Amino acid sequence: MKSRVIFVALLVASVVSGAAGCRPGIDDKAIVVTYSVLGSIVKDLVGGEAIVTVLIPDGSDPHQWEPSARDIERVNKAALVVRNGLSLEEGLESTMETAKNHGVRIFTATDHIQVRLVGKGEGIPGGDPDQQVGAPDPHFWVDPLAMKSVVTALAIELEAALGIDASARARNLEGRLEALHSEISSLVAVIPEANRKLVTGHESLGYFAQRYGFQLIGSVVPNLSSQAGISAADLATLIELVRSNQVKAVFTETGTSAVAVQQVATATGAVIVELSPASLPPDGSYFTFMHQLVVKIADALR
């Protein structure tokens, strides 16, 4: 009889533990987000109901960043990890895989959007395999409607993982993202259609281009990852593309070769405009971030 009581007690404890999603050392109010732009939206959605920690420092290149031992510990102790996916956070992939195998809940944003694939005529012919036709593009956050899809899915995950009812905040964010989309459409409308051509530091504005009717001419780094370089032959091809398409501006960013950009500008007469497509403004707002990004693009191309 005594052994039966002990067995029932252990069974009940096991069920309770499983329902709570408990792991040794877990912080049940800790959410870890990989990078700052996504982190801004997560903080807005969570409100004050959990502690949100962003791993990759604002302004750092997500493709190049590597986690410290402390960062790995944060991931392993989190109740939920929110990441981009599609190899954006290349330096975190092994950490994420290990954490997942140990029961950490991981929400991958790009599992909840329509993933853009590199299309024909984009970038430099014969470039890196990651930029070939059909390669998945991870840079979804420059499309507010893609971000809206992530918000909808993440609100459901917050309820399941942490018991947080974020439905009201989700509706509010969804409305704001729709309004941001309308604002961007108005800002883009002042750019002549013939000028809606983008040359960027690396392939980072594909979702923006797809949503708002821009043509992707090429990039200084012909790759979806900013870690790649550009060969002399690819640079010559890019210069010819900029010249033949009468591109008005080359948009640079963290990790872009200043020497290569200057060569393109000197050879073609295009102006150099610096963007921050992975860095938040001082107020930490995704909405300010997108507004400032689009204003810079519109001012350069109108």
Q: By residue range, what is the domain housing residue 234?
A: 190-301
- Tens digits of per-residue pLDDT, 87-119? 999 999 999 999 999 999 999 999 999 999 987
Say if 120 falls within a structural domain: no
Contacts of 151 (CB under 8 A, 6+ apart): 41, 45, 170, 173, 174, 177
pLDDT score, position 190: 97
Tell me, yes or no, whether 227 and 152 share the same domain: no
Domain boundary among the residues 177, 201, 231 is at: 177
- Tens digits of per-residue pLDDT, 167-197? 999 999 999 999 999 999 999 999 999 999 9
Q: At 217, give phi and psi (nearest 5°).
A: -85, -40
Number of domains in the chain: 2
Say if 182 falls within a structural domain: no
Q: Could you tell me how many residues make up the chain?
A: 302
pTM of this prediction?
A: 0.87
Confidence of residue 19 (pLDDT cuts 50, 70, 90): very low
Task: Please check the confidence at residue 220 and state whether its pLDDT lies above 80.
Answer: yes
Tell me, yes or no, whether 204 and 89 share the same domain: no
